[in-house]
Amino acid sequence: MKRSDRIRTLVVVSVLAVIGGVRVYQSAQPAPTWEGAASVASPTPSSGVLSGFSKIGEFRQSTPGTSYTLSHSGDLILLGYNNHGKGHFTVRDAKTGAIVSEFSAPFGLFYFMPDGKSVVVHGFQGITAWETRSGKQLWSVATKSEEQGVPTTKGPIITTNGSELTIRAGDNGGLVRTFPMTEAILALSGDGSSILVSQPGSSTGDVVSAAAGTRKRALTLPKGSTAWRGDLDEAGSIAAILLESEKGREIGFWDLKTGTKLPATIDGQRVGQIAITRDGNSLFVQRYSTDPWAPVVGDEGDVEMWDIKGGKMVSTIRAGQFSLTPDNRTMAVNHGDIYQVWRLTR
């Protein structure tokens, strides 16, 4: 199946799941913990590597097709669901699930601004900002229909339309600058300085200055492979890239100071999200229990925590999605309509 066909299949299944769902129940009451929520799966990891989970919050929200993101401090969680392009968003207390505010906006990528006082939503042909505690709209700017948002943790708002990259101010959406960018964006470093990009269908990658659009480092991927998705650490010095080739999928790692590939590799089959920690020592991998390109409604899997240098999985937790705070101290996961917030331990 071609990559475009796979994407269309996933989109169709997701839309059908949302259409078929009914908003039947929402509650901030704690829900029973699912069995085997978290466990240590390998020997002691390398020094400084994250090693496990400690639960600090749990609640239930039964809204089909919900996605979510944590605030930078980890005390709030923003949940959103898509109903035919119309999004409904709920800000909740991450520990208790108590509703803080709600608002509606055209659905798209959404995230908290660093200070936690506002959230940004990239909808069709527009970007809107909303006050976290009140749910009031703060501002909006029009965009081209093909512009896609890029998650950022430092405040600037970044979009790309396949031919140029646009940077806007996080406090009012005002235009800062644009520069040519034809490649697909795989990741943005935590400090906002570097972008990992790849030309679709090409076995090459580049690290680009986010501020100036200049090329900083070229990467050579294994022959015959294509970069599918990736992530960067805080300083843009280590890259994790999910690769696809005739042999299958694997996650590889690159030292961006030298452009060389590191020895460690991780099985990339049935992988959804990946996230490298800010120190470059650990990697989180969302792995579906079945093929993610032909998911069964309700199918989930696990989130795995890997020691990159040791090449070992150190912990795993049942989950359908996950969201990490930028400091990597807190993670939110869900299993069906039960949402949990975990403190990450060393």
Q: Which amino acid does the sequence have at 236?
A: G
CB 322 within 8 A of CB 273: yes
Structure tokens at 224: 């015959």
CA distances from 8 to 11, 145, 198, 243, 282 (A): 5, 18, 21, 20, 32
Strands 86-93 and 99-106: antiparallel
SS3 assignment, position 156 = coil
Mean pLDDT, 10 residues at a time, the chain of 346 residues: 41 34 36 40 51 84 86 96 92 95 95 96 94 98 89 90 92 94 90 87 81 87 87 92 90 90 90 92 89 54 90 87 92 90 86
Range of the domain at 279: 3-345
Predicted local distance difference test score (pLDDT) of residue 49: 63
SS3 assignment, position 20 = helix
Label each residue of 215-234 as H, E or C: EEEEEECCCCCEEEEEEECC
CATH at 285: 2.130.10.10
Burial (CB count <10 Å: 0-12, 13-18, 19+), residue 14: middle
Cα angle for residues 185, 305, 14 (degrees, 5° grid): 55
Structure tokens at 315: 């912990």
152 closest CA partner among 180, 198, 119: 119
DSSP string, 270-293: TEEEEEE-TTSSEEEEEEESS-TT
Predicted local distance difference test score (pLDDT) of residue 31: 39
**Model's pTM, two decimal places?**
0.81
Predicted local distance difference test score (pLDDT) of residue 16: 32
Structure tokens at 14: 């997701």
| Residue position matching structure tokens 């280590």 | 238
Domain count of the fold of the chain: 1
139 closest CA partner among 113, 114, 159: 113
Beta-carbon-side half-sphere exposure of residue 190 (alpha carbons within 13 Å): 19
Predicted local distance difference test score (pLDDT) of residue 323: 94
SS3 assignment, position 12 = helix
